Amino acid sequence: MQTDINRIVFIPVIHTDKESVDRVIQTVNSVKPDVVAVELDRERYYQLTEAKAGKNATPQKMAEDAVQGLMQNLAILEQRLGETTGSSVGEEMIAAIEEGRRIGAKIALVDRPLHLTVQALMSVPLDEIYRLTGLVPEANEEIVQGDSKDIFGILKEEGAIADLMKDFENEFPLTAEALIHQRDRYVANALVTILDDVEGRIVVVLGAGHINGVQKVLKELLEKQSAS
């Protein structure tokens, strides 16, 4: 089990953070893994590549459905953060893919399909969805006021992400299950498959909030696998 886990190099990233992009490129180039696995599904990958090519300039109509509205609001929040940091949404994932291809690594899209995450969110009570959606305008205001650099500085402090995730789980437990924990389990299962398929090293690029959960589930899965 330990040998398998040690073949994986996890890169925790903060979305729309330029330093994360640079770290991904440096790590992939240094490790030269057989596989680069990224926190994207096929749909999200195509969205990002089309955005990079300038093919989705037409603004989308905001969805009337509560869950779709939440997802779109979160996407807009990320986009505004990217505008202030100079790092576009998903740039760290695309950078990992491009650097992986440059060194001849295989690319794995290991996130759960977006439509399944949306379906899972459909089971979350509306009051929880609306409470979370209601926080987005406040976050947008902080970005407009130029507080985003302070936010990124805080997130990079040791233990800050873990504390933030704990607060989120306490405040929005069912949303956290659908948006985070279920995806952690999906990614961990995907990594088990990759470990079985390749003998070399694997670089895994994940949002920092997913690292602990994915590692925990992965260890449990590999323990069960070795015991059978």
Q: What is the pLDDT of residues 69-108, one digit of tens each?
A: 888 878 877 776 766 666 677 899 999 999 999 999 999 9
**For the chain, what are the domain ranges?**
2-57+87-125+159-227
* Pairing state between β 8-13 and 106-109: unpaired
Other C-beta atoms within 10 Å of 62: how many?
11
| Gap between the Cα atoms of 116 and 46, Å rounded | 17
Token look-up 């990124």 returns: 152
Are 92 and 20 in contact by the 8 Å Cβ rule? The answer is yes
> In the 3-class helix/strand/coil scheme, how is 54-99 assigned residue by residue?
CCCCCCCCCCCCHHHHHHHHHHHHHHHHHHHHCCCCCHHHHHHHHH
Per-residue confidence (pLDDT) for residue 118, from 0 to 100: 92
Q: Cα-flanking dihedrals φ and ψ of residue 175, to 5°?
A: -65, -40
Lowest mean pLDDT among 19-23, 34-38, 76-80, 149-153: 149-153
CA distance to 81, 89, 135, 139, 149, per residue, from 76 (Å): 9, 10, 13, 11, 18
Is a pLDDT exceeding 60 seen at residue 43?
yes
CA 24, distance to chain mean position in Å, is: 13
Taking the whole predicted model, whether its pTM rises above 0.85 is answered as yes
178-211 per-position pLDDT tens digit: 999 999 999 999 999 999 999 999 999 999 999 9
